[in-house]
């Protein structure tokens, strides 16, 4: 073979990897643009739905007093349906572009049912035991799917996975409704938790399977624009149940039960200390607004009351403190799960 022929052959073979690199880079950029577009569209949809919900609720007289302000203004509630609807629409658009996923569809179904349960509770109080039962029913489809729990020791029988999933779902949904009651608290905590779960899921399964957590994050961001201090709308139980339901469902269909539980340690602590008063917190009153915007702790023991007893906090500082606690915990959980557990 002549030197010219050899040179031409080498040139041809070097062109092929270059073309593949350019092609794969273009595909990655195209996918990134689509994902960013879905995220921003979901934020916008959540913003519009929250604004529309606010106006409808105001006109209908569905308002509640903002208890932690010097002048108790009336705030429309419940506005959490905006989170549920925008999350479902965002997920459906995502599947339309990137392909059908029965896991994402199952998670949307569970999240929607949880939000509907919360909406009923906003209108006709269900009671603690009733909430446990109905959220358990909402998560029962998990037992019919092929549940896997990443990082769980093999000595635990797989037949216990569905039961554990249902119990974890019950806990997450109801816990999301317990550490609540202050402007922007619930949506902010949910946003931080879902960022952490997205990072963990992306490390394990790739961005395509992790992205539903960003869809829920986008819904929370849109809602948080109107819910952050001073709140112009409250999520109500329909919102807290939606945030808890979608978070738990998106995590569990990816097998992220362990990091999900770890991220809810502050909620677990709140659950344990409230257990002593049998959750009859309304009988003990609520946190009260004091001079200079300082919030005085309620008479019952909880995570929030412990913080308020130790530190002189305004409502805004209390919310930011709880966000900071969750953020610090999220960093630890992400590091532990990605570097140690998995």
- For the chain, give the percent of residues with pLDDT over 70: 86
Report residue 275 as tokens: 């257990």
Q: What is the value of pTM for the model shown?
A: 0.89
State the CB neighbour count (10 A cutoff) for residue 52: 12
pLDDT for res 282: 53
Is pLDDT larger for residue 283 or for residue 323?
323
Closest CA to 45 of 82, 92, 94, 97: 82
Mean of the per-residue pLDDT values of the chain: 87
Residue 9 has pLDDT above 90, yes or no: no
Closest CA to 250 of 169, 188, 158, 336: 169
Report residue 60 as tokens: 């209908």
- Split at pLDDT 50, 70, 90, the class of 298 is confident
Residue 53 has pLDDT above 50, yes or no: yes
Q: Which H helix or E strand runs over 74?
A: strand 74-76
Residue 6 has pLDDT above 90, yes or no: no
160-218 pLDDT tens trace: 788 889 999 999 999 999 898 899 999 999 999 999 999 999 998 888 889 999 999 99
Residue 281 has pLDDT above 90, yes or no: no
Say how far apart CA 83 and CA 244 lie, in whole Å.
11
Torsion sign (Cα): 110, 116, 117, 119: positive
Say how far apart CA 338 and CA 329 lie, in whole Å.
14
Buried b (16+ CB within 10 A) or exposed e, 275-300: eeeebebeeeeebebeeeebbbbbeb
Say how far apart CA 205 and CA 212 lie, in whole Å.
12
Which three-class secondary structure state does DSSP give residue 235?
coil
89-141 pLDDT tens trace: 999 999 999 988 889 999 999 999 999 999 999 999 888 889 999 999 999 99
Half-sphere exposure of 193 (CA within 13 A, CB side): 30
Highest averaged pLDDT of the listed ranges 119-128, 239-248, 301-310? 239-248
Which three-class secondary structure state does DSSP give residue 336?
helix
- Split at pLDDT 50, 70, 90, the class of 290 is low
pLDDT for res 67: 82
- For the chain, give the percent of residues with pLDDT over 90: 59
What mean pLDDT do residues 298-326 have? 91
Phi/psi of residue 189, nearest 5 degrees: -60, -40
Of the listed ranges 120-124, 294-298, 326-330, the one predicted with least confidence: 294-298
11-46 pLDDT tens trace: 445 455 666 667 677 678 888 899 999 999 999 999
Is pLDDT larger for residue 276 or for residue 99?
99
140-150 pLDDT tens trace: 998 776 667 77
pLDDT for res 29: 85
Alpha helix (H) residue ranges in 79-184 = 81-98, 102-123, 128-138, 161-176
Residue 341 has pLDDT above 80, yes or no: no
Q: Is residue 296 a contact partner of residue 308, using CB atoms and an 8 Å limit?
A: yes
CB proximity list for 208: less than 8 A, separation 6 or greater: 98
pLDDT for res 340: 74
């Amino acid at each position: 073979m002549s030197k010219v022929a050899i040179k031409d052959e080498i040139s041809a073979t070097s062109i092929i990897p270059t073309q593949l690199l350019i092609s794969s880079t273009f595909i990655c950029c195209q996918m990134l643009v689509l994902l960013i577009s879905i995220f921003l569209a979901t934020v916008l949809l959540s913003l519009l739905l929250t604004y529309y919900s606010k106006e409808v609720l105001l006109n209908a007289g569905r308002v509640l007093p903002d208890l932690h302000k010097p002048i108790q203004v009336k705030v429309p509630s419940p506005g959490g349906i905006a989170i549920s609807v925008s999350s479902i629409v965002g997920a459906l658009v995502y599947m339309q572009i990137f392909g059908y996923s029965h896991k994402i569809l199952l998670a949307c179904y569970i999240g929607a049912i949880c939000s509907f349960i919360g909406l009923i509770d906003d209108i006709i109080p269900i009671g603690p035991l009733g909430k446990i039962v109905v959220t358990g029913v909402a998560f029962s489809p998990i037992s019919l799917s092929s549940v896997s729990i990443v990082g769980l020791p093999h000595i635990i029988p797989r037949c216990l996975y569905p039961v554990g999933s249902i119990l974890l779902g019950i806990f997450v949904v109801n816990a999301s409704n317990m550490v609540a009651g202050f402007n922007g608290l619930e949506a902010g905590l949910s946003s931080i938790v879902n960022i952490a779960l997205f990072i963990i899921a992306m490390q394990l399964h790739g961005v395509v399977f992790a992205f539903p957590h960003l869809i829920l994050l986008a819904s929370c961001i849109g809602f948080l624009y109107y819910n952050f201090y001073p709140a112009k709308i409250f999520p109500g139980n329909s919102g807290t149940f939606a945030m808890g339901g979608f978070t738990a469902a998106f995590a569990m269909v990816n097998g992220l039960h362990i990091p999900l539980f770890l991220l809810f340690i502050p909620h677990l602590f709140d659950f344990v200390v409230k257990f002593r008063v049998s959750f009859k917190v309304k009988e003990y009153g609520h946190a009260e607004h004091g001079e200079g915007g300082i919030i005085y702790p309620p008479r019952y023991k909880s995570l929030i009351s412990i913080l308020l007893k130790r530190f002189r906090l305004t409502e805004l500082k209390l919310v930011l403190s709880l966000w900071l606690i969750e953020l610090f915990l999220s960093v630890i959980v992400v590091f532990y799960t990605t570097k140690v557990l998995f």
